[in-house]
Amino acid sequence: MKVAVIGATGMVGSVMLKLLEERSFPVSELIAVASEKSVGNTIVFNGKEYTIKGMQDAVEQAPDIAIFSAGGSTSLEWAPKFAEKGTVVIDNSSAWRMDPSKKLIVPEINADALTSEDKIIANPNCSTIQMVMALAPLHKKYKMKRVVVSTYQSVSGTGAAAVQQLENEINGVKGEMAYHYPIHKNAIPHCDTFEDNGYTKEELKLAREPQKILDDRSFSVTATAVRIPTAGGHSEAVNVEFVNDFDISEVRRLLHQTPGITVQDNPATNTYPMPMYAHERDEVFVGRIRRDETQPNTLNLWIVSDNLRKGAATNAIQIAEYLLAKELIGKKAGKHA
């Protein structure tokens, strides 16, 4: 596979490169792409040094697959140019997620929707991925009616500048501010920009993306997204009302049996998911599983995942692995026919 990583020097891009190594993805040739200011610099991948290329250069090399993590405007401009060359694009931005002509994929849930015709594939929002991973098996069994989610999102979800702001504030150093306010010893109920209805874009992603992934608009989601002073890992308090009643032991069993889910739920031993456990792990961790006693058929969950891995890079590479396994990329997919 000739593989391009777009945004290779960014936080998610760096994790993508690490995971391509860890998961032994068959990269015969790597095309590392970053902003113009980084072109000509080098990175090391699988023990070999690669020179960072510009976008046009990468397009002309017609890679088999291009994994984007470079922002929505970059994806809107360049993903179609790669696709025209026959490259399959997996895009980590929000640019294509709600485009009705593009698939929004969490491999454990809906990878079977992909075909050789899909040249631009959208990777969902990090908070969406971990939530739907836990909710998909429960929705299949009990049918969701309404979901209320509050997120506790790490500064790494904003990017390197926000991580630096937190480190500066911890160490008493004055520096550039990624947020309007200090984040150290604080919680900021403001992830992404505000829309006219008072919700942020992040909250609307959580509301809309699950319906597309599960191909079901019969349930609704309302969200409040909060930034907290952790360096990595997103957490979510999820309250889900089902059409049908459930048994707690069966809920635990369903989650235990779901690939990619790890249940950590034993109050007697203070066992529950936390970002420190999710660090550099690919699983979605679920705990605090309990019935909402204030209304029928309603469940409370606490969901945690590494937002840079399963929430971004791992999910994207799992999509690439699925395409490869199903022969939907490369020569066997008819790209060079």
Q: Which residues are catalytic?
A: 126, 234
Alpha helices in 37-173 (DSSP H): 55-60, 72-84, 107-110, 126-142, 160-170
What element of type H or E holds 1? none
Torsion of Cα atoms, 274 then 22 then 112 then 308, to 10°: 40
Taking 3-state DSSP, the helix, strand and coil percentages for the chain, each rounded to the nearest 5, stand at 35, 25, 40
Contact 206, 265 (CB under 8 A): no
Contact 71, 81 (CB under 8 A): no
Beta strands in 18-84, from DSSP E residues, in sequence order? 29-33, 42-45, 48-51, 65-68
